[in-house]
Each structure stands twice: as C-alpha cells, then as structure tokens.
Amino acid sequence: MASASGDVESSLELSLTGSGALPGALPPARSRIFKIIVIGDSNVGKTCLTFRFCAGRFPQRTEATIGVDFRERAVTIDGERIKIQLWDTAGQERFRKSMVQHYYRNVHAVVFVYDMTNIASFHSLPSWIEECKQHLLANDIPRILVGNKCDLRSAIQVPTDLAQKFADTHSMPLFETSAKNPNDNDHVEAIFMTLAHKLKSHKPLMLSQPPDRDEIHIKPEPKPATSCWC
C-alpha cells in the first residue's frame, strides 16, 4: 500500500464561522471538503472505523446508527488544508430509508465495509454496490473495500483470497483492518489518508461543498487523546 502522510490539525469542526478572528484580519481560506460515505451491513464496524479515524480511538460503546452521523477531521496534505468528512451511514434498512439520497449527493469517494468474522456481511457487498449504481455514482469515484475486525483471528470467516478476488473484480483496493486494534494489518489512519491523497491528486479543481447542515444532525466528537498514528 502506498504510504500515507498528513499532519493532523484537528478533529471535528462544527462551524466554519471565524469567531475570535482579529478585526481587520483576512478571513481564513476555505478548505476543500472531501465527502466520503462509509456503507455496509449493520454491525460491521462503520461507526467504530470512522470514530477511530476522527477521534483517534475505539469508542467505548456504540448503538446502531440511525440515518447518518458525520464526522470530520482536518488534515494538511502537501501544504493544503483539507477536511475529510466521513458519512457514517446506517446499515439497517429501516434506519436508512429516508436518508439514502443524502448519502449519495455530491459524494467524492465510497468505502464499503464488511465484517471479516461474518460471511453474510461479505455476501451483501453486491447489493451495496448495486445501491451505488442506482444512485448514478460516476465511474471514476474512488471506492475501497475494507474488511474490519481482523483482530478476531480465530473467528475469521472471510478468507483474504476470496475478498481479494472480489476486490479485483470490482477494481477496488482491499484493506483488512481492525477499528479496535489498529496495529493489526493496515492502519485505519492510513486507509483514509490514502483515500484523501488520491482525491487530492484526482480532483485538483474540486470546490468545497458544505454538507446539508439544515437537514443533517451533527454530533460533536471529542478530540483525539493523542496525536494520532493509530
């Protein structure tokens, strides 16, 4: 995997307003926002993965996501300040119905997640890919496949070669990782940073787009406890 680097500046920012700015000072430059949606069956660990990347740790406990939560982290890549905005979507059909069109609007990249200890979540991947198709996602939008929970070694049901074949068929890179123990295999950090690097190099002129803040509930996240190389 290509190495990913970027300086962590801050985790979630709720507002773009410049409160506290000196009178007469120039307004801060707007940073580009990369909207990345994270999709997959319920319980595969989407909330934990996005929390790990944005808050720098594994959440103590999670509940099924209802609708969507979004988390942001500002990073600097090659001197440019970029906001990585992760849309942590609901895996349960009943909790996503009314939100699906928001997920796909102006999306820049998609992360498909399955649970390595649950073969059913792997078998659901074609239906998630189909949902993307139905929402007319452009072919050149980067997509990656993440097998989560690789820390549960004795319970693995999805062999790497099977997942790799699937990833190759759909022209996606595969990462096996753990939101809980990021020292296992690929770091969660590196996965999202690699995607951000890719977006930055592919979308040099992309404008920042504010999320649907009037429609989406924003949850604040705590700052990472440590500077984060998970």
Ligand X SMILES: Nc1nc2c(ncn2[C@@H]2O[C@H](COP(=O)(O)OP(=O)(O)OP(=O)(O)O)[C@@H](O)[C@H]2O)c(=O)[nH]1
Positions touching ligand X (CB under 6 A) are 42-48, 62, 64-65, 90-92, 148-149, 151-152, 178-180
The 100-129 contact track toward Mg ion, x by CB under 5 A, reads ------------------------------
Cβ of residue 66: shortest distance to Mg ion, in angstroms?
A: 9
65 binds Mg ion (CB under 5 A): yes
Q: Which one-letter amino acid corresponds to residue 211? A: P
Residue 36 to residue 147: CA distance in whole angstroms = 17
Burial class (CB in 10 A: 0-12, 13-18, 19+), 8: middle
Of the pair 6, 91, the CB lying nearest ligand X is at 91
Given ligand X, Mg ion, none, residue 86, with its beta carbon under 5 to 8 Å by kind, binds none
Write the interaction track for Mg ion spanning residues 37-56; mark x where CB under 5 A is met and - where it is not: ---------xx---------
- Reference 170, options 138, 129, 122; nearest CA is 129
The burial class, CB within 10 Å (0-12 / 13-18 / 19+), for 209 is middle
The residue ranges that bind Mg ion (CB under 5 A) are 46-47, 65
